[in-house]
Structure 1
Amino acid sequence: MKFNQVGWFEFGANQPEKAKEFYKKMFGWDFKTNPDLESQGYQYDGIIEPGNEIPTGGMMYTADKMEEYAVFYVFIENIHEAIEKAQENGGKLIWGPVTDDSNITFARLKDNSGHQFGLFSVKN
């Protein structure tokens, strides 16, 4: 994976089992429980697209605790520098950065016109 390219997608679902059934039938996606965020109180499934062996996206169980959403994540070299750069250009940090149990650090932001996007990097 190269820096500054979309490397992950994610959506939040209030009815995750219903969403999984839909996307399985629609695109052939498989879902695999990801325990890395459980310690922080989140239920999350990795999405494995046909032809891939590892997840390339994920589904957050929102359980009516937050709005449903869809967002893309860009793989970057230094998350703190990227957040600062976004803020310098009119963007806003929504949450994060957070590092999960597999040492992936991610954050959610809004661009200067209000669209959400995410950043992620691998913690050394």
Structure 2
Amino acid sequence: MPAINGIGWFEIGTDNPAEAERFYGDVFGWTFGNDEGAATGADGSPYRSITPPGEGRPAGGLFPTGGKVPNYAVFYVLVADVDETAAAAEAAGGRVLVPAQRTPDGLTFAHMLDPSGNQFGIFAPPAGGE
């Protein structure tokens, strides 16, 4: 796990998960598997973990959007407290795009916009875990 305020995760949201897996697998050698602890995608399909070659564990995820949100690719910064970081980002001129949410396994995340309108995410792992 990276240090607090380090890039800790990336996510690709797509309306065509099979094609995204084929593309990123062919280009980068990434492998994909169901993430049993995560919520399902917008279309009810499982959230998929992404493991780059040489990594001992997933470093990102693939979210099946079902066409309900635009396709995207975003990075997530590991933070100590999602609510405090969101407030600090707003005070610095950013904006909360998706308010803090908690996954079934206790991970908390939010989506933000920087002052230029670039989307990024912040997250904190479940209490007592990674």
TM-score range (shorter-chain normalised) is: over 0.9
User: What SS does the aligned partner of 2:24 have?
Assistant: helix
Determine the structure 1 residue equivalent to 2:48.
45
Sequence identity percentage: 35
Structure 2 segments unaligned to the other structure (5+ residues): none
Q: Which of 96, 99, 103 is equivalent to 2:102? A: 99
Aligned equivalents of 1:103 and 1:37: distance in 2?
A: 11
Aligned equivalents of 2:125 and 2:45: distance in 1?
A: 20
What one-letter code is carried by the residue in structure 2 that aligns with 1:102? D
Aligned equivalents of 1:123 and 1:30: distance in 2?
A: 25
Structure 1 stretch displaced more, 84-93 or 96-105: 96-105
Counterpart mapping for 1:7-18 below 5 A:
7-18=8-19
Determine the structure 1 residue equivalent to 2:33.
32
1:113 deviation in Å? 1.2
Structure 1 segments unaligned to the other structure (5+ residues): none
Post-superposition Cα deviations, 1:68-109, rounded to whole Å, max 9, x if no partner, equal 001100001111110000011111111131111222111101
Determine the structure 2 residue equivalent to 1:3.
4
User: What SS does the aligned partner of 2:13 have?
Assistant: strand
Aligned equivalents of 1:97 and 1:123: distance in 2?
A: 13
TM-score (norm 1): 0.92
Q: Conserved in 1, the CA contact under 8 Å of 2:41 and 2:66? A: no
1:53 deviation in Å? 2.5
What one-letter code is carried by the residue in structure 2 that aligns with 1:22? F
Aligned length: 124
1:63 deviation in Å? 1.3
Determine the structure 1 residue equivalent to 2:80.
77
Higher share of residues assigned helix = 1
RMSD across aligned positions (CA)? 1.7
Give the ranges of 4+ consecutive aligned residues of structure 1 lying more than 4 Å apart after TM superposition. Answer: 39-42
Q: Conserved in 1, the CA contact under 8 Å of 2:41 and 2:63? A: no
TM-score (norm 2): 0.88
